[in-house]
Structure 1
Amino acid sequence: MSRRRTTMADVARHAGVSLKTVSRVVNQEPHVRQDLVRRVQESITTLGFRRNEAASRLARGESVLTLGLVIENISNEFYSRLAKAVESAAAAHDALVMFGSYEERADREVMLIDTMYGRGVDAMVIVPTAGDHGWLGEYLASGLTAVYVDRVPEGLADVDAVLLDADSGGRIATEHLLAYGHRRIALISDSDPLSSVHARAEGHRTALRAAGVAVDPALCVTGVFEPWRVEHEVLRLLALPDPPTAFFATNNRAAMGLIQALRDHPGPRPAFVGFDDFEMAGAFTPGATVVRYDVGRLGSAAVELLLARMRDPARPRRRVTVPVELVVRGSGELPPPTRAMAV
C-alpha cells in the first residue's frame, strides 16, 4: 500500500504556522519572516514534502486570474461538458482554468486541491467525493475560496453550491414510468451517500409511495459506477422470477450500462428513464428518455458565485438550483409486457 502524499496542511501543522504561510514560502513570495521560512523549510525536509516545480515559475504579480476545477472523471461526458462550461464562463472574465480528475479516489481529491492551492490557485469549483470534507476547513480558513457543484460536501455546513433539482428529477422520471403502467420499477444508482445521488433516489421513492407502490429493496441497486457492472446487475434483475418491467438509471453511465444489457436481452424489453442527457441518447432504437438540464448553466452559475465570493468574502452563502426537464425519446414510453392469464 502506497504512503499518503504529504500535503501543505501537514507541513503547516508540523511547523506550527498557517497554511497560507506555507503557501507563501513554497511559492517564494517576499516579506515572509526569515524564522518562519526556516521553520517551514525544515518541516518540508523532515516530512519529505514535494512541491510541483511549476509553482516556483508562477509570476506572483500576474493579473490573470486562475481558477481551479476539481472533478470526478473527465472521460465522463457530464464532466467534460461541465469543464467546457466552466472554462467558457471563466474566459468571459479573462480568467484561466486549471483542472484535474480524482477518478473516484478521495486521496486524489485531497492531492489535487492541495497541489492547486500550492500553485497559487485561490478559487476553485469542486465536485466533491463522498465522505467527510471537514479537512477542507483548514484550506478555507487560510484563504481558499470554493464553490461546490452537483453535490454538497459532507462536514461543511455552510457553503456556496450550484445544485440540480435532483429530487424533482428522480420524481418526474418515476412518475413517467408509473403513468405507462409500470409498478415493478428498478433503481440503478452509484454511491448513495453522495447528496445528489441520494436526492435522485429519494425522488424515485417519493413517486412510488405517492402512487401506492411499495419500495422493493430487491429492485434497488446502489454503489455501481462502471457500465459493465450496471450491465451485470440489470441482467441479474431481469432473471428474477418477478423481474422489473422498467428501470430508472440515476446517471449517464448507468444508462449506458443498461442499454448494453438490453441490447441482447431475449425477453420483453423493459422501459427505462435515465438522469443526464448524453450525445448518443437519440441514436438508439428506441431513443433514451432522460431527465435533462443545462450543464452550461451549472458552470456559469458556479463561476459567478465564485467571483462574487472573491469580491465580497462576507456575503451570505448561496445555493443555486438548476431546474430539470423530461426529454421523451421512446425508451420510457414502453408499456409493461402483458402476462398470460392463468387458466
Structure 2
Amino acid sequence: MAKRNDRPTLATVAERAGVSIKTASRVLNGEKHVAASTAEKVETAAEELGFRLNSTARRLRAGGRSPYIGVVLSDAADAFQSRAFAAVEAELATHDLRPVVTVVGDDPDREEAFLDECLANDLTGIIVIRAHPEAAETYARAASAPGTRIVTLDPAVNGPGISIVAGDDREAGRLAAEQLLAHGHMALGVIGDQSPSLITTRRLQGIQDAIAGRRGVGWRAYMREDAHDEASAKNVVAAWLGSRSAPGALITLSATVTQGAIDACRRLGEWPALVGIDDFPTAELLDVTVVDRNVESLAAEAVRRLRASAEPSGAGGGGGSLGEGEGSSPSETTGRERVDDGVPDFDNALCVIARGSGEEPPDTR
C-alpha cells in the first residue's frame, strides 16, 4: 500500500494507463503525434492519480499556442520599465497569459539568444519594453520568421511585422521645455540618455521645437548625452552646479537620469528648477515636476495587439497580421503593421504633472 504522502510519478501513470513510460512522457509533454485514444488513457490515469498535468503541453497538442509571452527590458531598475512591466504582467494575467522575462543590460547577444529561445519554444509572442540600441536588426530578423508576433513599446524596434505602441516622445520633450520657458528660464541644462536611442533623439527634437523662434534661450552649451544611469547623471549635474556658469533649470530625459540629478542637488544643497520625463515612485515626495504617460494604457494596447495578431483574419482565414483586429482602420489591415510616426493611435495622451520643481522662478541673485 502506498504511503499517503507518496506522490504519483510518470512511471505510475504509465502503469495505470497500460503504456510505456516513454509514451506517457510524450503525451504529458504535448507531443502531437500520439493516438488520441492513447493520449486520453494517459491523461485519465494522470488525473485519477493526481499527477499534475502540463497545461501548456495540453494546449499545444490541442492546436493552441503557448500561454507564455517573452518580455524584454534593458534595465529593470529604470522606473519607466519597471512600471511598464508591472502593467504588462497585470494585463497578461487577465487573459491567462504569463511573461517570461529577460533583462539585457548592455549585452545585445543576450537579447538575441533570448529571442532565439522564444522562437524555438513557440512562445505566443514577444513584448519589447526597451531594447538594446544595437538590437534593432535582431528583431527585424525575428519578425520575418513565420508566425512571429512582436509588439514593442520602444520605437527603435520597428519594421515589417512589428507593431509599435509608443507615446509621442517628441511631444514629451516639447512639453518639458515649455514648462520651464513659461516660468522665465532661459538657460536650460539638458541631460539625455544613450545618444543612439531614438527616444532620446525625439525628445531632443521636441526641446528644439519649443525653443524655435525664441531669442536668448541657451541649451546647447549645457546639453549632455550618454548619461544613461544615475551615477553619470549625478556627476554631470554636480559638475554644472559647481561651476559659475551653471544652467538655471534642468530637463532630464528619463526617470533614471532624473533620479541621478536629484541626488546631486540634494548632496550639494542646490535646487535649480527641474522637469523630468517619465514619473518615478518618489517623485511626488520630492516635489519633482514630470511629463508622464499612462503606462496602463500602453500595456493594455500592447497586449490587445498581440492577441489580435493571433486571431484569424477576416479576409483570408489564416493567422492574423500584426495590427489587425478590433479597432484597426482599413489602411492598417494590409498584412503588416505600419511603422508608427511617434503619435499614438490610442488614448495615451501625455500630461505635465506640476509638483513644484518645474515651477520655480529663475534665480535672480
The bucket for the TM-score relative to the shorter chain is 0.7 to 0.9
Instruction: Kindly name which structure, 1 or 2, has the bigger radius of gyration based on alpha carbons.
Output: 2
1:327 aligns with 2:353: yes
Shift of 1:78: 1.8
The structural deviation recorded for 1:315 is: 3.7
Q: Which residue of 1 aligns with 2:268?
A: 265
Cα distance, 1:280 vs structure 2 = 0.7
Match runs of 1:123-134 below 5 Å: 123-126=125-128, 127-131=130-134, 133-134=136-137
Deviation at 1:255, TM superposition (A): 0.8
Q: Distance in 2 between matches of 1:216 and 1:86?
A: 36
Distance 1:112 1:210 in 2: 47
Distance 1:84 1:94 in 2: 15
Distance in structure 2 (CA, Å) of the matches to 1:294 and 1:237: 32
Return the alpha-carbon distance in structure 1 between the equivalents of residues 135 and 78 of structure 2: 24
Picking from 137, 145, 157, the partner of 1:153 is 157
Q: CA deviation at 1:214?
A: 5.1
SS in 1 for 2:280: coil
How does the TM-score come out when normalised to structure 2?
0.72
Distance change (3 Å), C-alpha of 1:106 and 1:307 = same
Q: Using a 3 Å threshold, how does the CA distance of structure 1 residues 315 and 90 change in structure 2: closer, same or farther?
A: farther
Closer/same/farther in 2, CA of residues 104 and 299 from structure 1, 3 Å limit: farther
Unaligned segments of structure 1, at least 5 residues: 1-26, 32-55
Aligned-partner Cα distance in 1 for 2:188–2:140: 41
Task: Label 1:159 to 1:309 Cα distance change in 2 as closer, same or farther (>3 A).
Answer: same
CA distance in 1, matches of 2:363, 2:141: 56
| Identity between Structure 1 and Structure 2 (%) | 26
Structure 2: which 5+ residue stretches go unaligned? 1-28, 34-53, 312-319, 322-333
- What is the aligned partner in structure 2 of residue 224 from structure 1? 227
Q: Is the 8 A contact 2:191 2:224 kept in 1?
A: yes
Change in Cα spacing, 1:316 to 1:138, as seen in structure 2 (3 Å) is closer
**Residue type at the aligned position of 2:294:** D
1:26-66 deviation digits (Å, cap 9, x = unpaired): x99667xxxxxxxxxxxxxxxxxxxxxxxx99624275522
**Is the CA contact 1:151–1:194 (under 8 Å) kept in the aligned structure 2?**
no
Structure with greater strand share of residues: 1
The C-alpha deviation readout for 1:209-239, integer Å capped at 9, x for no partner, is 2423455432111111221111110111223
| Alpha-carbon distance in structure 2 between the residues aligned to 1:111 and 1:210 | 48
The normalised TM-score by structure 1 is: 0.76
- Which of 240, 248, 253 pairs up with 1:250? 253
Identify if the C-alpha distance between structure 1 residues 93 and 132 changes in structure 2 by more than 3 Å, giving closer, same or farther.
closer
Contact 1:209-1:215 within 8 A present in 2 as well: no
Distance in 2 between residues matched to 1:316 and 1:136, nearest whole Å: 15
Structure 2 equivalent of residue 78 of structure 1: 80
> What code does the residue aligned with 2:357 have?
S
**3-state secondary structure, aligned to 1:336:** coil
Q: Which residue, out of 156, 171, 174, partners 1:171?
A: 174
RMSD (CA atoms): 2.5
Q: Tell me which amino acid in the other structure corresponds to 2:360.
A: L
